[in-house]
Amino acid sequence: MELSDIDIILTVARSGKISQAAKELNYAQSNVTTRIKKLEQEYQVQLFNRFPKGVVLTSKGEQFVQYATRIRDLLNDLEQDMTDPGEPSGTLKIGIVETAASSRFMEILNEYQVTYPEVSISLVNATSPKVLRKKIQEYVIDGAFISGACVKEGLKVEYEMQDTVHIISKRMDVPPESLCQVSWVVFPKGCPYREITEEYLQEEGLSARNIIEVSTMDNLLSCVESGVAFTIMPCSVIHKKPDEFSVYDLAERFTHTTTTFVRGEDRYVSSALDRFVKLLNQKCITF
């Protein structure tokens, strides 16, 4: 087996199509097919079941992918370790949920950039913990802020804080008499605050007149500030203009949530990431 075979198997397994994998790898399709067959002959196993519309891993193929993923991760760690100069430099890629992007995190980020100007910071926004977890596993990002409960297997928690969520509306002198006809603005499915909203509406027996789905915090706050909809979010998201909004408490069972900063467990930690984590814990930021 050659090391390049690992990329071939992983790409085919992810795409489910040899033609698509060949295109992504810039290989001839016949070359990809030949390399797979050669591996299957070498190990005397069938890695993929072939179908007219694509391929699916066999049980042995799934085992191969598990080993191949570990080998790929070790090679990535090796490359980072060998090229790390010891002082923070290069690129630091951080995944961040929209709620963190609107908080004091930006102040910490600015301080980090001033202290370590040789580091190029790249922010990857997402609303789903599942998406950020996948990006960590695939080495797309070095670490991520994740809100709400998440599966921590394979992840190392470097920072954790407790937060509270509330119902937020445009500024009102008198609380609404009923929430039965209220519209709600939420992020796409996978967002923990959307899950809280849906659970709250169900348990309270409320039927939202309309669910408005947005993908950015700016759009969400615009909907709320204009009176188009209510939302359920941490109060930190309105810290720039608190007087423009009204905040209402939720029942205890809905109130508490957690924001964590995580990275891949047992992964190489670059100098840039190490200093970032230390600054994060030193400042003990709250969102």
What are 254-282's pLDDT values in tens digits?
888 888 899 988 888 889 999 999 998 88
How many angstroms separate the CA atoms of 3 and 162, rounded?
44
**CA angle, residues 135, 13, 96, in degrees to nearest 5:** 10
SS3 at position 77: helix
User: What would the DSSP string read from start to end of 135-152?
Assistant: HHHTTS-SEEEEES----
Q: What is the pLDDT of residue 285?
A: 60
Structure-model confidence comparison of residues 175 and 277, the more confident one? 277
The runs of H, that is alpha helices, within the chain are 3-15, 18-25, 29-43, 59-83, 98-101, 105-115, 129-137, 192-203, 217-225, 252-255, 271-283
Q: What is the pLDDT of residue 149?
A: 64
Q: Is the pLDDT confidence value at 102 over 70? A: no
Q: What is the pLDDT of residue 47?
A: 94
Q: Domain residue spans in the chain?
A: 3-83, 90-163+258-283, 164-255
Lowest average pLDDT, out of 15-24, 154-163, 224-233, 277-286, goes to 277-286
Return the CATH fold of 164-255: D-Maltodextrin-Binding Protein; domain 2 (3.40.190)
How many angstroms separate the CA atoms of 88 and 270, rounded?
8
pLDDT one-digit tens code per residue, 125-168: 887 888 888 888 888 899 998 887 666 778 899 988 888 899 99
Across the chain, mean pLDDT equals: 87
Is it true that 90-163+258-283 and 164-255 share their CATH fold? yes
Mean of pLDDT values over 16-43: 91
Specify the CATH number of the domain 3-83.
1.10.10.10
Q: Do residues 272 and 117 make contact, with C-beta atoms less than 8 angstroms apart? A: no
Q: Is the pLDDT confidence value at 169 over 70? A: yes
Superfamily of domain 90-163+258-283: Periplasmic binding protein-like II (3.40.190.10)
pTM reported for the whole predicted model: 0.69
Mean of pLDDT values over 99-119: 82
pLDDT band per the 50, 70, 90 thresholds, residue 83:
confident
Secondary structure of 94-135 as H, E, C letters? EEEEHHHHCCCHHHHHHHHHHHCCCEEEEEEEECCHHHHHHH
